[in-house]
Amino acid sequence: MLVKRPPGELLANMWALPAMELKRGDFDGCSIQNILKNCYQIKINQKPVLIGEVNHAFTHRIWLMKLYHCELNKIAFRNEKVIK
């Protein structure tokens, strides 16, 4: 599934995997399920499984990403374009 990034932000209007920027320590007490539900209105069937980590360096920023596998249950996007 891909979502279109909002205008006016980094990589605006480009298609991307659902993602959320977190600062170190922000993840405490938050679950992937809650982040997907609250930010993208995505419900999943099971607990996500960590499948890898990726680092990507831009000239001005480094992304440290964790990749999870999960199955979608229901999508109810508001004002978003989605590709499954």
- 41 φψ region: left (φ > 0), alpha (ψ -120 to 50), beta (else): left
Q: Could you tell me the CA-to-CA distances from 15 to 1, 27, 64, 68 in Å, in that order?
A: 10, 24, 19, 18
Sign of CA dihedral 56, 39, 41, 5: negative
- Walk along the chain (84 residues) and give the pLDDT tens digit of each residue: 788 888 888 788 898 887 777 776 666 546 778 877 787 777 777 788 889 999 999 888 888 888 888 887 756 555 455 555
Please provide the size of the chain in residues.
84
Residue with tokens 């979502």: 3
The predicted model scores a pTM of 0.63
